[in-house]
Amino acid sequence: MLEALTWLLLALAALFFSAGTLGLLRLPDTLSRIHALTKADNLGLGLAALALLLHAESWAAAAQIGLIWLLALAASATSGYLIARRCLLESHGTPASTLGAPPPGAPPP
Amino acid sequence: MSGVSIWLPTGSALVLFGLLGMLLASSILRKLLAFNVMGSGIFLLLLALRPPGPDGVADPVAQALIITGIVIAIAATALGVRLARRYHQLSGQTELPEDRAATRDD
Amino acid sequence: MNAIDLLLALALLLLAGSALLARSVQTASVLFIAFGLLLALVWVRLGAPDVALAEAAIGAGVAGALLMLAASEFESRRIGGSRAAGPRLPWPRPQGWRPRWALVLLALACAAVLLLAVLAIEPLAGAATEAVARNLPQSEIAHPVTAVLLSFRAYDTLLEIAVLLVAVVAVQAAPAPPQRALAHDPVLARVAAITVPLALLVALYLLWAGSSRSGGAFQAGAVLAGAVLLARFASLPLDPQSRLTRPPVLALGLALFILIGLVAGALAGAALGYPSGWVKPLVLAIEAALMVSIGATLVALFGGSKTA
């Protein structure tokens, strides 16, 4: 029973990772690729972490796995934000003007 | 050849890639990158020649050698990167004069 | 041969090839970081978690970051937008093909000889492992790799630290090109305010764990360097970098190592030996000093400071 659940979770995780990679390869520009990578990949990581949690030897190990997932979330969210900011910087100019700026390619308001 | 580790040809292939990269690439940074790939290939060969012991832990002497190697490689890479940046700052070029060729990208 | 091993090996070669053939050096650096992380996974597969930690922290992290920093200085390519058109190969069209083909054939021959030589070696199943295990109780260090690094082959580690110091001296002799001042980013500052103390904690844990598990001074020093650099890039109010990269801090590890090696060695009867019963605190002291020095060295190798 536990085996089947683990396999299911890992298969779902692989599916999400593949979806993220597909997005990376096929989406047109950097901003949309960031969407695919941060959302799909982190969900895949969460599912994989869940699968590992089922096999954790102790509560400390389970807490470690949870902490790893949270840190990976924070890291990918921050780096996604920084890359997106850099994108806007290159298309709009100074950093101060990028807050609240429309994404490049959107029709002007 | 029963039980030959797959990491032996992998390590050799990495050394090949790194060697080709160092010989053929023209930008200094690419050479440094290839140098690192070659180093990783040699470390892989070092450890692939030592199958893990009964408890699954690899040879500690090989591990210590590889850790030392990684640290030395980073020291060499850092020096190379700093020299490349200084050279770029002084001359505006990213390649050494003997490697420069027409219509380059970076 | 495992299916996982086969997949890992193929992925490793694919990443290495893409990193070397990438169109821009920035792309190549990112692919190189991915290569380093996958290689860390391979080290775990081979039963070497210490090497995996060192590879992920130093080999992938520091090396990739160095290359990316230099690459972003060398080219001002836009990172937003669709893939830019460019020449297919990063290598130039040579004037005459003959010299290039000779080089390729030469490299292939070298690699072939290497592969044949390596396949012909009988893998010595565990001779060194047994020797280490036999002498481990005598060294009074619980973890074999730490014992090799700081007791059996302490001389190698000493020289390695000296090489790092020489590299820092050489790097500081060539002044860093001036870097743009980094704009303050509130999101990064908040994330760094949480992550930097956590990273320091991880570094101290790795240092402590090195005496009985995988870990040790090198990995801890790399994490420490990462924390300090993150604090600098996030423009946190503390400026640890300028205080950390002063010569006394850089030389601390080497100096303490030599001092303890000579003094404790005199007591124990051999240079770089430790008197019995004092091994654990002495090794911890050496590793702590090494961690600080290695962290400072890696930060100094990066170069530049907030005020530059």
**Overall number of domains in chain C:** 2
C304 and C158 in a common domain = yes
Residue B33 forms contact with C (CB below 8 Å): yes
Classified as helix, coil or strand, C146 is: helix
User: Along the 308 residues of chain C, how does pLDDT read in single tens digits?
Assistant: 678 889 999 999 999 999 998 888 889 999 999 999 999 999 998 888 999 999 999 999 889 989 988 888 887 544 443 344 444 455 555 544 456 788 888 888 988 898 888 888 876 666 777 787 788 887 778 888 888 888 888 888 989 999 999 998 888 888 777 776 667 788 888 888 889 999 999 999 999 988 888 888 899 999 999 898 888 888 777 666 666 677 787 888 788 888 888 888 777 777 777 777 778 888 888 889 999 989 888 888 887 654 43
C307 and C167 in a common domain = yes
Determine the Cα angle at C175 with ends C172 and C178, to 5°. Answer: 135
C256, part of any domain: yes
Please name each of the domains of chain B with its CATH number: 7-93 (1.10.287.3510)
DSSP string for residues in C28-71: HHHHHHHHHHHHHHHHHHTT-HHHHHHIIIIIIIIHHHHHHHHH
Which pTM value belongs to this model? Answer: 0.87
Range of the domain at C44: 1-73
Do C114 and B15 count as a contact with CB atoms less than 8 A apart?
yes
Contact residues, chain C, for B11 at CB < 8 Å: 118
C131, part of any domain: no
Determine how many CB atoms are found less than 10 A away from the CB of residue B62. 22
C284 and C186 in a common domain = yes
C84, part of any domain: no
Chains A and C touch (3+ CB pairs under 8 A): yes
Chosen for mutation from C10, C51, C78, C79 (greatest number of chain B CBs closer than 10 Å) is C51
- Measure in Å the smallest separation between the Cα of A69 and chain C Cα atoms: 14
ipTM of the complex: 0.90
Contact residues, chain A, for C80 at CB < 8 Å: 29-31, 86-88, 90-91, 104
Residue C160 forms contact with B (CB below 8 Å): yes
Phi, psi at residue C275, to the nearest 5°?
-65, 145
Amino acid at site C10: L
Amino acid at site C282: L
**Nearest by CB to A78, which of C79, C80, C188?**
C188
Do C25 and B30 count as a contact with CB atoms less than 8 A apart?
yes
Which of C69, C73, C216 has the alpha carbon at shortest distance from B71?
Answer: C216
- Measure in Å the smallest separation between the Cα of C120 and chain B Cα atoms: 10
C124, part of any domain: no
Q: Which of C73, C93, C127 is the last residue of a domain?
A: C73
What residues of chain C, 65 to 124, have a C-beta less than 8 Å from chain B? 66-67, 69-71, 73-75, 86-87, 90-95, 100, 103-104, 106-108, 110-111, 114-115, 118-119, 121, 123-124
Q: Which of C40, C73, C106 is the last residue of a domain?
A: C73
Do B67 and C100 count as a contact with CB atoms less than 8 A apart?
no
Do B15 and C46 count as a contact with CB atoms less than 8 A apart?
no
> How far is the C-alpha of B98 from the C-alpha of A79, rounded, in Å?
38
Contact residues, chain B, for C93 at CB < 8 Å: 101-103
Q: What is the pLDDT of residues B80-105, one digit of tens each?
A: 999 888 888 888 777 777 666 533 44
Which of C134, C122, C54, C47 has the alpha carbon at shortest distance from B59?
Answer: C47
C205, part of any domain: yes
